[in-house]
Structures are given as C-alpha cells and as structure tokens.
Amino acid sequence: MSTARTSDLWWKNAVVYCLDVETYLDSDGDGCGDVEGLIERIDYLAGIGVSCLWLMPFYPSPNRDDGYDITDFYAVDPRLGSLGDVVTLIRTATDRGMRVIIDLVVNHTSDQHPWFKSSRRSKTSPHRNWYVWRDEPPAEPTADVVFPDAEDSIWTKDDKTGQWYLHHFYSHQPDLNIAHPAVREEVAKIAGFWLELGVSGFRVDAVPYLIETGGVPGDVDLDPHGFLKDLRAFMSRRRGDSVLLGEVNLPPRPLRAFFGDDQGDELQLLFGFPVMQAMYLALARRDARPLAEALEANPPIPPDCQWATFVRNHDELTLDQLSDDERQEVFDAFGPEPGMQLYGRGLRRRLPPMLDGDQQRMRMVYSLLFSLPGTPVLFYGEEIGMGENLDIEGRMSVRSPMQWTDEPTAGFSQAPPSKLRRPLPEGRFGPLAVNVTQQRRDTDSLMSWMERVIRRRRETPELGWGEATVLSTSEPAVLAHRSDWEDGSVVAVHNLGDEPCIVDIELACDPHSTLVDLLDSGVATHPVAGDRLELQLERYGYRWFRVQPPSGRSAP
Ligand code: TEU
C-alpha cells in the first residue's frame, strides 16, 4: 500500500515544530532556556506527534538579532549548552522518531565574526572579498531595507578603509559575498559539519537575499540559482535524505523558481507565504475566496518538493504581498492598534489574541493548516494557544517563554520572574490561563484536540502527497478542497464565516461513495448524493472526509 512510499521523501508528510532553545525550558535556573532543558521535553514533543524539530539559531552570537547574527557557525552559544549537548539532543530526538533541522543563516554574519573583523581591517585582508565592498553605494539601490525602523540604507560606510559594505538586514549583519568561491566552499563545509552531527537538513534563512549578487562589484558571472543547485547536490551526496527548507517570501511564480527545475533540484520545501497571507485576508473577510484563489494560483511543483504551510512564525506576520487596502483590512480585523503593527507591513501578534481567543475559530484555522496542501509547520506554543507579549520589543513579542505550568515563571525556569530571558504575557493568554499542564488534563483543550488532529494528519498521506483541487461550493464563506493520491481521496471543508450554513459542494467523485469523517464531528459517515455533498456546518465549522468507494477498505 501507499504508506510504504512515504518515508524516503519524509518531508512531504512531516509535522514540523519550530522552537528557540533559549525560550523553551531552562534547566539550570539562570533564566535562559538551554539544550538540556529541551532534551527534557523531547518526549513531550514526540507525544504531540511532531516528526521534525526546527531549531532556531543556537550559535555563538552577540544576540543583536536574537541569534541570527552569528559569530561562529561551528559552535554552540555557551549560554545554551555545548556541542556535546546538541549531539545528545539530536540523538535523543532521533531515538524518539523525530528529525532535527537547524537554521542555516549564511546571507550574513555578525559584524563581530572573525571573518568580518579580518575583512574590514584592510583592503588586502584575505577575508576582504568574503563580504561586499564598494567605493560608493550604488545610486539605485537593488533592494529596500528589511528593517526600516533601524536602517535607512543597505550600505554602510566603514571608516577604517572608507569603503561601504552591503547589509540587507541590520548594519551589524554584513552580507557574505556568495559570489566568492571561498565563501561557497565554507557554506558547504558548515552544512557538511552539521549533517555529520546528525541533523536532517536546514531551514535556509533569507534565501533571495542570500543568492542576490546585484551588489557585488565588477562583472560577476554567476547563476544565483546555481549556488542552490550546488548546495543541494552536495547535501545529497553527504546525506541522501537531507532537506532544505527555504524562507523565500515572494509571489507564486518567482517563488516556484526556488524548487529548481522540473525534477526539483534546489530547495525541497518552501514556505507558502502567498497562501498564508491570503488566508489572513480570507479570515478577515470571513470569505474563503481569497484563499481559494491563492491555492489555485500556486503553480504545479516538482514531485519531490512540497510547500511548508504555517499560521505564524517567529517574525512579524508579514502581509507585504497584499495590496495596501487588503493589508489595511487585515490590520483592522486583527491588529488595529499601531503597537500591534510592525514595519507598516505586518502584525507582531500570535493567532489566539487576533481571534479574541475564539476556540472554534482557532481550531478551524489549525484544521486548515493541517489539511491544506503542504507540510504543516508549528511555532512553539501554538499547540496550547499562547498569545504574544506586546511589551517585548519589535519582532520578539511572539518569542516569550514556553508556558508549561500556571506558576509565575510558567514552569519555564526556576529563576525569579524578573530574571527570565523575556517576560511572559499576563492576563487571558498568560501562563495562569494558558499552559501545558492544565491542557493535557483536559480532553477538550486545544492541545488535546491538536494531538488528535496531528495523529489524523499523519495517518492521511493523501494530504501531503496528493494533488489538491479546490471544489466549488454554494457558500462564499466555505472552502472545500480535495486531495487525490493513488487510489485515495480526502475532502476538507472549512467555514470561514461566523454563521452556521448549509453548503452544497461539487465533489466530483464516484456517486456511490461514502464519506468517512476523519475528525471528531460526531457523524461517522455521510452519504453522497450523486456527486454532490450537502453539509451542515456550524460557525467556523470544519470537516475532513475520506472518500470511500463502494468496494473500498475502511480504516479506523
Ligand atoms: O528573516 C528574513 C526577513 O526578515 C524577511 O524575509 C522578511 O520576513 C520579509 O522581507 C518580510 O516581508 C530572517 C529571520 O526569519 C529573521 O528572524 C532574521 O532576523 C532575519 O532573517 C535576518 O537573519
């Protein structure tokens, strides 16, 4: 049967969970999470049904961009643990059936990295060309600054040699010169190092900036995508089942290019930024059509590749691909106060407060996450419905400590609350109200619900492997889609509206089929009338069905 085919391309049916070691669990009471703490929670993660951990950067860093400013790619920040601890973590996760991928942040380094210190020392330094230097910044910049609150140019003058260096992000994050062969070799060496220690691949940070060579002086004869092809080929030689998950926030067509050619020879997984942004517009309007259109606008992808779907990540909820009016609609619905917004393009909030804690609506959104075509990626704390802490600056508002218990430090640390790496939120979404301990004792909690849905998702490979089709429905608020794989079909239906409805769906399947409910709607089977389905949905209702042909074998 089909299930046997799913393990080689494991990323097509994975459940990924992103976390930052320093905000997960503090084992030694210094207020900062650490690798030993995370190891204590490996069984918790395996129990939820997570199959792949994505660790945010844990490398030595001055921490001016939460660890995305790295000073040594081959080491572990001593505040978090040792290299030995990380290998033990990978070993323990592997034993529990979970893979580990880590952030590969090689668009830039910290300005404190020894390479940059050497580079800026003189124009003849051996590391000079590891970064991008110019006598004058170009009259026409090739890109906008990513952090408009902190920077007004992607070029900064360095007094020592009087030249300017390129940095797409903060000026303390100089861009590496990927056109330089030595830099490319070093990137492969970094990837090879971590593969050797047991990771299954990388979440590649800021990929379009990484391969952008427009700022490199002189005539550079370089195919930017060639770098990704080379990296991918290198990784496959070292470890055949390794994966590259790319952060590429671009519209569907240019985004598709990062999968590579028809066979897919670049990044196997790409975050589906266009669908994610359209989903928020659809939620704000309580109208499924923007989401349906975004799904239909996705070009076909190579067979080994997959979208990575997500509701929230560790950055702002970027809405930069929406029009100004559309973005304003989402702001009005989910983040009307200026303090909730960031860089004029996004929201620095988690989902539950945006939905005012509406459990039914939250579950509908996560049901979408687990059933839309792609590999679901959770951000830590989503399984219990954590909120943000807007008192924490900028993007960090959503990176408060994991809430384990209802204690003042949320069971995250033995340190006094004032010593925590970041302050916890208070009130409705604080640890008193939202924590793991309480939710695991309650079969109706979001966490218990999510465990069941993840289990079902893992048992439903059609969703990860199938070809998805948006079905036409009689209600604009309702999204229905079908995923077909080999002999199986699964249909998912979501009511984005806050009114109950009766919806008529064109199923286009064998008219004698039965629909077997895969979640816990209470109704086990639904007859199909002709090739249509009439379904009664509550407000924000959702259903998953397996289409069972008359002679089909039933599954539990
Ligand atoms: O983010 C990259 C980044 O900021 C952009 O892709 C951004 O999301 C987009 O332009 C918004 O519309 C990554 C990390 O996720 C982030 O945490 C780091 O700060 C950043 O790179 C620099 O390493």
Q: Model confidence over 240-297: pLDDT tens digits?
A: 999 999 999 999 999 999 999 988 999 999 999 999 999 999 999 999 999 999 999 9
Does the structure show a pLDDT above 90 at 554? Answer: no
pLDDT tens for residues 461-486? 999 999 999 999 999 999 999 999 99
Identify the domain boundary among 177, 201, 228: 177
Give the DSSP H or E segment for 19.
strand 16-19
Residue, of 214 and 60, whose pLDDT is higher: 60
Q: Are residues 122 and 51 in the same domain?
A: no
Q: Whose CA is nearest to atom 2 of ligand 1?
A: 206
Looking at the predicted structure, is the pLDDT value of residue 407 above 90? yes
- Can you tell me the mean pLDDT for 145-166? 94
DSSP output for 123-186: TT-TTGGGB-EESS--SS-SS--S-TTT-S-SEEEETTTTEEEE-SS-TTSPBB-TTSHHHHHH
Residues 476 and 535 in one domain: yes
* pLDDT confidence tier of residue 218, bands split at 50, 70 and 90: low
pLDDT grade for 220, boundaries at 50, 70 and 90: low
How many domains are there within the chain? 3
* 450, two tokens: 């999510």
Q: What is the CATH number of the domain that holds 519?
A: 2.60.40.1180
Percent of the chain topping pLDDT 90? 88
Task: Give the Å distance between the CA of 168 and the centre of ligand 1.
Answer: 10
Banded pLDDT at 142 (limits 50, 70, 90): confident
Q: Which of 442, 458, 474 is the last residue of a domain?
A: 458
Residues 501 and 535 in one domain: yes
CB 366 within 8 A of CB 453: yes
Q: Are residues 84 and 138 in the same domain?
A: no
Is 247 among the residues known to form the active site? yes
Asked whether residue 31 falls in the same domain as residue 78, the answer is yes
What integer pLDDT is reported at residue 214 of this predicted model? 65
Instruction: Catalytic residue, from 26, 65, 205, 382: name it.
Output: 205
Residue 388 has pLDDT above 90, yes or no: yes
Per-residue model confidence (pLDDT) at position 529: 72
- Domain membership of residue 525 (yes or no) is yes
Same domain, 439 and 497: no
- The CA 133 to ligand 1 mean position distance, Å, reads 22
Q: Binning pLDDT at 50, 70 and 90, where does residue 221 land?
A: low
Report, as an integer, the average pLDDT of 324-334. Answer: 98
pLDDT tier at 556, thresholds 50, 70, 90: confident
94 class by beta-carbon count within 10 Å (0-12 exposed, 13-18 middle, 19+ buried): middle
Q: Specify the CATH number for the domain of residue 166.
A: 3.90.400.10
Assess if residue 215 is contained within a domain.
Answer: no
Query: Are residues 116 and 78 part of one domain?
Result: no
Mode of pairing for the β-strands spanning 16-19 and 375-379: parallel
Calculate the average pLDDT of the chain: 95
Looking at the structure, tell me whether residues 87 and 124 fall in a common domain: no
CA gap 231, 50 in Å, rounded:
27
Give residue 314's pLDDT band: very low, low, confident or very high (50, 70, 90). very high
> Between these two residues, 2 and 501, which has the higher pLDDT value?
501
Domain membership of residue 169 (yes or no) is yes
Residue numbers of the domain that contains 130: 108-177
For residue 217, pLDDT over 70 is answered with no
Quick one: 49 and 64 in the same domain? yes
In a domain, 140, yes or no: yes
- Classified as helix, coil or strand, 232 is helix
Statement: residue 138 has pLDDT above 90: no
- The pLDDT value recorded for residue 191 is 98
Q: What is the pLDDT of residue 105?
A: 98
Mean pLDDT of 33-60: 98
Pocket test for ligand 1, best of 22, 23, 61, 68 (most atoms within 8 A of CB): 68
Query: For residue 108, which atom of ligand 1 is closest to its CA?
Result: 23
Catalytic site includes residue 205: yes
Q: For residue 53, which of 230, 203, 263 has the smallest C-alpha distance?
A: 203
Same domain? For 34 and 64 the reply is yes
Name which of 179, 176, 187, 175 is nearest 226 in CA terms: 179
**Is residue 219 over pLDDT 60?**
no
| Predicted confidence band of residue 387 (pLDDT cuts 50, 70, 90) | very high
473 and 450 share a domain? no
Measured from the Cα of 105, ligand 1's closest atom is 23
Assess if residue 232 is contained within a domain: no
pTM: 0.97
Q: Does residue 250 form part of some domain?
A: no
In this prediction, residue 216 has a pLDDT band, given cuts at 50, 70 and 90, of low
Residue 487 resides in a domain: yes
User: Looking at residue 553, what is its pLDDT?
Assistant: 67
Give the per-residue pLDDT at 312: 98
| Boundary (domain end) residue, out of 435, 458, 481 | 458
CATH number at residue 413: 3.20.20.80
Verify that 50 and 79 share a domain, yes or no: yes
Residue 321 in domain? no
> Measured between alpha carbons, how far is 348 from 222 in angstroms, rounded to an integer?
37
